[in-house]
Amino acid sequence: MRLGDLSVGIVHTLADAILSHGLDPQPLLLQYGLDPARLSEPGARLSIPRYMRLGHAAIQLTGDPGLGLRMGQLSRMNQLGLAGVTAAQAPNVREAARTLTRFEALYGANYRGQSSFHEDAGGAWLRFYSISPYNAYNRFVVDSILAGWLQQMATLCQQPVVAERIEIEFATPDYSASYSVLGDCPIQFGAELNQLRLSQHSLAQRNPQHCPSTWNLLLQLCERELEQLTRTRSLRERITRLLGPMLNGGREPDLEEVAARLKLPTWTLRRKLAEEGTQFRAILNDTRRDLAMTYIRDTELAFGEIAYLLGFASAEAFQRAFKRWNSQTPGEFRRSQRHSA
């Protein structure tokens, strides 16, 4: 099981950020197998754990812990593939933000969730899902997304876009002074969500490059691509994708919650799973097991943190379950993976 992946187009933003420090990004990219041919492949993806290790290495190379903010400042919508090109043709900031979040799966997939757009009478929140617990390997991701959204919207309407407020889940970092590049707005660290607030005035800013017929054609292409992505999924696959964000937080979701997300009566979901030769409990256990092995192999997270992300009440309960699944403890599994790598 994969934690998720991203379009390799996003790597160009990281390379530009390294270049802005007067350094050559090519040796680092080649270490990660990202040569020009790979970066030119249509539809090529980079796994999220690998992207986080690449970003961490870039921060060490540049000595800039706020490199994610620099990435955001240098980001361009066309680096987000078809969804980004479509957003760049939106009539205004509102529709561009809707497009980037609605079609996010076309350029980035993470089992932890997806970005979202929430509008009300006063404005809208652009929200990036939680990727906690936070460490030196993933804070830059949140920084680059939030800074990138502001930069992309400003490019679209060809004038500065300043958030009314920015909220970030992780605690105030040592490089907090670097956030001044996001403009004169309040920033709250240690918040419940990663999100930024745009006013109705900002949302209404028009795109002078907008062409209605091109915009509608691109929207149709995005809808077609998104449908292609989701059409072939079995019910089991759809449930597995739902479980990722629902597991987080030291508790496990039940059949009723999943049925509600799928807009199905509980008994119908149970019957359909039986027709596929499986049960909800089996899917839940398989999802947890696969995610546990992926987290232990591909990240540096402590076992207590992994237990929390997989909905276990305690690290001990997770360790017992893991040994039952794999006939070895999480520690033994991690050591064996490191030894064979």
* Three-point CA angle 137, 141, 143, nearest 5°: 115
Note whether 191 and 249 are same-domain residues: no
Note whether 82 and 223 are same-domain residues: yes
Note whether 118 and 221 are same-domain residues: yes
29 lies in some domain: no
Note whether 242 and 298 are same-domain residues: yes
Q: Please report the pLDDT score of residue 130 as a whole number.
A: 80
39 lies in some domain: no
Mean pLDDT of 311-326: 91
265 lies in some domain: yes
Note whether 266 and 223 are same-domain residues: no
30 lies in some domain: no
Please say which residue of 228, 244, 262 terminates a domain.
228
Nearest-angstrom CA–CA distance, 286 and 298: 18
138 CB-near residues (< 8 Å, 6+ apart)? 52, 131
Give the structural domain span for 330.
Answer: 235-340
CB-neighbour burial class of residue 20 (10 A; exposed 0-12, middle 13-18, buried 19+) = middle
Q: Please report the pLDDT score of residue 198 as a whole number.
A: 98
What is the domain count for the chain? 2
What's the pLDDT tens digit per position in 106-139?
999 888 889 999 999 999 999 998 888 899 899 9
Q: Please report the pLDDT score of residue 128 as a whole number.
A: 96
Q: Please report the pLDDT score of residue 339 as a whole number.
A: 67
Note whether 164 and 263 are same-domain residues: no
pTM, two decimals, is: 0.84
Mean pLDDT of the chain: 93
In which residue are the tokens 């499986």 written?
A: 278
Q: Reduced to 3 states, what is the DSSP secondary structure of residue 311? A: coil
What's the pLDDT tens digit per position in 246-267?
887 767 889 999 999 999 999 9
331 lies in some domain: yes
What's the pLDDT tens digit per position in 29-85?
999 999 999 999 988 999 898 999 999 999 999 999 999 999 999 999 999 999 999
